[in-house]
Amino acid sequence: MRFIEGGVCAAKGYKASGVHCGIRKQTTKKDLALIVSDKKASAAAVYTQNLVKGAPIAVTKANIKDGKAMAVICNSGNANTCNANGIEIAEQMCELTEKYAGISKNDVVVASTGVIGQPLDIEPIASKMEDLVSELSYNGSSNAAAAIMTTDTVKKETAVSFEIGGVECRIGGIAKGSGMIHPNMATMLVFVTSDVAISPELLQKALSEDVQTSFNMISVDGDTSTNDMVTVLANGMAGNKEITEEGEDFEAFKKALNTVTVYLCRKIAGDGEGASKLLECKVTGAKTDKAAKGSAKSVICSSLLKAAMFGADANWGRVLCALGYSGEDLDVDKIDVRFKSCKGEILVCKDGSGVDFSEEKAKEILLEKEIEILVDLNDGEYSATAWGCDLTYDYVKINGDYRS
């Protein structure tokens, strides 16, 4: 397997585009994205578990109920959530896709991201559909990736090439994250495309299993969004023998999918609202898978630890504290904690108590942009990784007045 260029257009038969339609005032910010497959594709999705759900989620669910889709349309700047006419507007976005791109409205995945509770005007979208479709290109991934961004500071796209039964296949994706990131069964918007031939059932199975160790293990601020959605389209244009059961081919696909999703997870966490650092908590030696995941997630979610990491402060007591309230069954007296970055690794806690360490060395390690928090529970065979970011002045600034 190797990383390749092309993002959501890396797989065969996918075009994408992104334009500024006017939902966002700033004219240099694209706010409408379209992804189209040349062939009808197997489709799978996972959605937010928040009881408050964006209107597009209901429409997308209905459209891919048959396991098939051919296009994704997504706007940023307005979440189309908690509005009286949300469903109607989401359906109109599908109808516009049918009218301008010639794709059945029932084969459209529709998504929105941005502020909650303000009516989404269909006019700007309708007025730019012609441009959006005419700009569709097999090299359009980065335009689409730009158009789905809200407070994201970098575009998030990746792709890999791999083999199934001797046939070269590709899978790629784009994502938007930033704030309100604490997914439960799904995350913010992630659109993945592949040219693998795979049945809708197995595609859904692969995705549902994948998110347990990828998007469900990120947190920026503990807030589970109302609009989280991850979708995968797989149009079969690679020419592999269709995957219709578990086995070697399915595992190869899952591995490639996980490479793409973990890459996007790291990008989303590292570009969390206001973040200056990516935090990666690796828990080993847990009694159960649940204890491993719960422990890693609890550390990543601690506001106090996040603030300490912003200050490059080796305050490992906050790691212990977060493990202690994780709700998992842990033996506190067995826990070891290390901090690690490209500048080295340092043991700060052994058997649940502090050890002498060089504050200077710890500072040097923690001043880097990617920090690993290594927790060994020394109590079993399970491990898990969770991703987060530091808590900074900019997080407060961005969210103190997001709507203006």
Active site residues: 187
Q: Collect all residues with Cβ–Cβ distance below 8 Å to 200 and sequence separation of at least 6.
A: 42, 43, 44, 66, 67, 68
Q: Which residues bind its own copies (CB under 8 A)?
A: 49-53, 79, 81-84, 115-119, 179-180, 182, 184, 221-226, 301-304, 307-308, 310-311, 313, 315-318, 320-325, 330, 332, 349, 352-354, 391-393, 395-404
Separation between Cα atoms, residue 57 and residue 90, nearest integer Å: 9
Separation between Cα atoms, residue 252 and residue 199, nearest integer Å: 15
Measured from the CB atom, the residue of 27 and 404 that comes closer to its own copies is 404
Q: How many CB atoms lie within 10 A of CB 110?
A: 28
For the bound state, the minimum distance from the C-beta of residue 77 to its own copies, rounded and expressed in Å, comes to: 14
For the bound state, the minimum distance from the C-beta of residue 114 to its own copies, rounded and expressed in Å, comes to: 10
Measured from the CB atom, the residue of 15 and 338 that comes closer to its own copies is 338
According to DSSP, the residues that pair with 19 across neighbouring strands are 32
Query: Helices marked H in 284-368 — which ranges?
Result: 289-301, 303-310, 317-324, 359-366
Separation between Cα atoms, residue 338 and residue 316, nearest integer Å: 9
For the bound state, the minimum distance from the C-beta of residue 111 to its own copies, rounded and expressed in Å, comes to: 17
Measured from the CB atom, the residue of 106 and 184 that comes closer to its own copies is 184
For the bound state, the minimum distance from the C-beta of residue 102 to its own copies, rounded and expressed in Å, comes to: 34
Measured from the CB atom, the residue of 247 and 311 that comes closer to its own copies is 311
For the bound state, the minimum distance from the C-beta of residue 399 to its own copies, rounded and expressed in Å, comes to: 3
The whole-angstrom distance between residue 43's C-alpha and the CA centroid of its chain comes to 17
Q: CA distances (Å), 208 to each of 41, 44, 230, 232, 328, in order?
A: 18, 9, 10, 11, 24
With 0-12 CB in 10 A as exposed, 13-18 as middle and 19+ as buried, what is 241?
exposed
Measured from the CB atom, the residue of 19 and 116 that comes closer to its own copies is 116
For the bound state, the minimum distance from the C-beta of residue 302 to its own copies, rounded and expressed in Å, comes to: 6
In 3D space, the residue among 222, 258, 272 whose CA is nearest the CA of residue 385 turns out to be 258
Measured from the CB atom, the residue of 246 and 331 that comes closer to its own copies is 331
With 0-12 CB in 10 A as exposed, 13-18 as middle and 19+ as buried, what is 385?
buried
